[in-house]
Structures are given as C-alpha cells and as structure tokens.
Amino acid sequence: MAIDTKTIAALRSQTGAGLADCKKALEEVGGDMDKAVEALRKSGAAKAAKKSAERTTKAGLVGSYIHGEGRIGALVKVACETDFVAKNDDFKELVTEVAMQVAAMAPQYVSPENIPEDVILKEKEIYSEQLKAEGKPENIWEKIIEGKLKKFYEDVCLLNQTYMKDDSKTINDLVAEAIAKTGEKIEVIEIARFQV
C-alpha cells in the first residue's frame, strides 16, 4: 500500500519520529494512524534500550518544579550524551515533565534497581505474612508476591509510574520517546522532592 506524504508528515509531527520510520510504521499497519503511533512507540522503546546499553551520558540538565505557592518542590537530574541535545527544547520539556511528575506523584526511587535490597526483602516479608493470614496455599505465593512487587514499583519508582498527563504511558515510555526523537541516550539520574 502506498502511503501519501501528507499522512507521513502528519505522523511525524505527532510523534517526532524520522520520516523513514514514519513511512515504515504506516506501511506495516496499512495506513492506520493510531496503530502507526503505537508501532513507533514500541520501536522507540526497543531503540531506547539499545542506545542505553551502548552509550554513555556526559551532558544534561538539572530541572526544577515548584507547586502550590512554594509548598512542594522537585529537583531532577536528567542526563544525555551531548550539550546540543541538553539545549534542545524537547529535552528541556522532558526534564520539566519529569520534575512535575516527581512533585505530583512523590516517587521515592528512580527505578527498581535503586531500591535497597533490605526494602525489597521487607516488602516480600509483609506480603508473605498477608498471604499466610489469608490462608493462600504456599505454592502460589511466589507468583502473587511478584504481582504485588510490580504494583509496589509502580507506586514508588519514577520510571514505573503512570505518566500523570497520559495514563496510557509510563515515565519510562516518555523517556523512550525522547530517546527516539533525539537519537541519544537519555537517563534520569537523581530525583528529590521537598514539601512544607
């Protein structure tokens, strides 16, 4: 199926992906715009994972967000590979969005990898006690605990949280989209939240 340039341009302006990627995505899904957006998001996540493994970040920004007449504030450190991207409006917007998320949703950690082992062990212990009290058979505990930990990560880890402005994405998806747009590795390094 031949895809017209107007449709490709519309998809590009909506997603920020390259023209060739937009054309390929539209061809794969028979011209369906919504499915093409989804395909680009998935391929963006795959590209983001590859870039993250291969490259190092040595530039970036510290961003802040203050809310409620100065009653809540957040600081975030987001890294990228070059100053060129760090000065880019899309990157600056990502940093602001991440800071707003931290202020609004109060994550305690950037990702599950940042959670101390003793905290995870304590959570597992609590879940085990709950399951024991509920009389659940021990042979299914591991699967239930795994599900409860996933929910715990969604609550306390920034990258696992649902994006407050679009519940179809996580913050990790937002970062992956920025990686797809900029072509550089981007990572959230540190977060801090303050409240009076």
CATH entry, 55-110+157-195, from 3.90.1010.10, 3.30.260.10, 2.60.40.10, 3.30.479.20: 3.30.479.20
Which sequence spans correspond to the domains of the chain? 5-53, 55-110+157-195, 116-154
pLDDT in tens, 130-168: 988 998 888 888 899 999 999 999 999 999 999 999 999
Quote the DSSP letter at residue 16.
Answer: -
Residue 37: pLDDT band by 50, 70, 90 thresholds? confident
Architecture per CATH, 116-154: Orthogonal Bundle (1.10)
* Residue whose entry in the numeric block shows the structure tokens 């795994």: 146
17 φ, ψ to 5°?
Answer: -75, 165
pLDDT at 49: 54
Rg (CA), the chain: 20
Q: 59: helix, coil or strand? A: strand
pLDDT in tens, 3-32: 888 888 777 767 667 777 788 888 888 888
Q: Report pTM.
A: 0.70
Give the other-Cβ count within 10 Å of 62's Cβ: 12
Angstrom distance (rounded) from CA 104 to CA 84:
29
Angstrom distance (rounded) from CA 17 to CA 140:
43
pLDDT in tens, 95-126: 999 999 999 999 999 999 999 999 999 999 99
145: number of CA atoms within 13 Å, CB side? 20
The fold of the 5-53 domain, in CATH, is Helicase, Ruva Protein; domain 3 (1.10.8)
Angstrom distance (rounded) from CA 159 to CA 113:
11
* Residue whose entry in the numeric block shows the structure tokens 């299914």: 140
* Residue whose entry in the numeric block shows the structure tokens 């369906």: 32
Longest Cα separation, the chain:
62
Residue whose C-alpha is closest to residue 179's, from 91, 84, 87:
91
31: number of CA atoms within 13 Å, CB side? 7
Q: By 3-state DSSP, what share of the chain in percent is helix, strand and coil, each rounded to 5?
A: 60, 15, 25
Exposure of 100 by Cβ count < 10 A (0-12 exposed, 13-18 middle, 19+ buried)?
middle
pLDDT at 26: 86
pLDDT in tens, 48-78: 555 555 667 789 999 999 998 899 999 999 9
Do the beta carbons of residue 43 and residue 25 sit within 8 Å? yes
